[in-house]
Amino acid sequence: MRTIVFLDRATLSVDLPDFPFPHRWIEYPCTTPEQVVERCRDAQIVVTNKVPLPGDALAQLPQLELIGVPAAGVNHLDLETCRKRGIGVVACPGYSTLSVPEHAFALMLALRRNLVPYWRDVHAGGWSGSPTFYAELHPLEDLYGSTLGIVGAGHGGKRLAELASAFGMRVLFAERKRASAVRDGYIAFDQVLREADTISLHCPLTDETRHLFGIAEFERMKPSASLVNTARGGIVDEAALIEALDRKLIANAALDVLEQEPPAANHPLLSNPRTDLIVTPHVAWRTQVAMTRLVTQLAQGIEQHYAQC
């Protein structure tokens, strides 16, 4: 009988299907890094959404056979140690192909139409005091005819491109930064920075993409451009983003992810409300459709792993 330990069950508010093989199920709402080895010592299968499994922890888990990740990203795992040890990894790429691009598109619309600043000003009386029937309090931009730069051409990036094309946008897929050649269907990274009216991030967090967007990148973007990040917080240098907004290097930004989650109460991006920034609490993936796809994909991946053994 295999033991399955779910380290952060509170991150997944949906029922998991029962597995067809004999097993003992143990779950914890959350787990600190110091508790990982003790809780997983007798486990053959560990499920972790965000709890890190570094090499030193894996070295102390000789019975571990498989890691299930109810998410698309696996940057919290030591994949090299997993490979050397023969530990299988089941992740869920593509489960949020519909939900995350829709959220990104909603954020993009909100930024280009300045919806949050308009609501704040209308609530404060900005419309009531207008001399005309309307109150043009902020600039409004159409998506039609504008250019969208997408960083990451996986499931999410391609789906966003479909939505953008339906709105009449010109779509550019960015080549990797500092790439020696530009692949068919891609545009040089720097050219995308220069031409895009909106840039949306849909790439994984890796050593190559960490702080992919810093001051140098913001300085090459249009002053009227928007940045949307529904991928991973570490892809954007948050201190650089604050500087870019303060210096008006870009018009505005919207984030569904931060480098530290949950953020500290005094996080610089959250401590003062600002009209050029929208932050949502990592919820782009949390639609009912996405949750159903997620648990189905995770369960099927675990079952298939053992079916092949």
> Which amino acids are annotated catalytic?
232, 261, 282
- Exposure on the CB side of residue 242, measured as CA atoms within 13 A: 10
Place of tokens 């003062």: 272
CA separation for the pair 146, 140 (Å, rounded): 13
Task: Compute the Cα dihedral for 257, 261, 267, 270 and give only its sign.
Answer: positive
Neighbours of 51 (CB within 10 A): 23
Q: Could you give the angle at which helices 155-166 and 99-112 cross, rounded to 10 degrees?
A: 50
The two structure tokens encoding residue 187? 């545009």
Concatenating the DSSP letter of every residue in 188-247 gives: -HHHHHHH-SEEEE-----TTTTT-B-HHHHHHS-TT-EEEE-S-GGGB-HHHHHHHHHT
Q: Could you give the CA distance from residue 251 to residue 84 in angstroms, rounded to a whole number?
A: 47
CB 7 within 8 A of CB 40: yes
d(CA 163, CA 166): 5
Q: In what order do the strands lie in the sheet with 277-279?
A: 170-173, 147-151, 198-201, 226-229, 252-255, 277-279
| Residue 245 identity | L
Question: Which residue shows structure tokens 């894996």?
Answer: 58
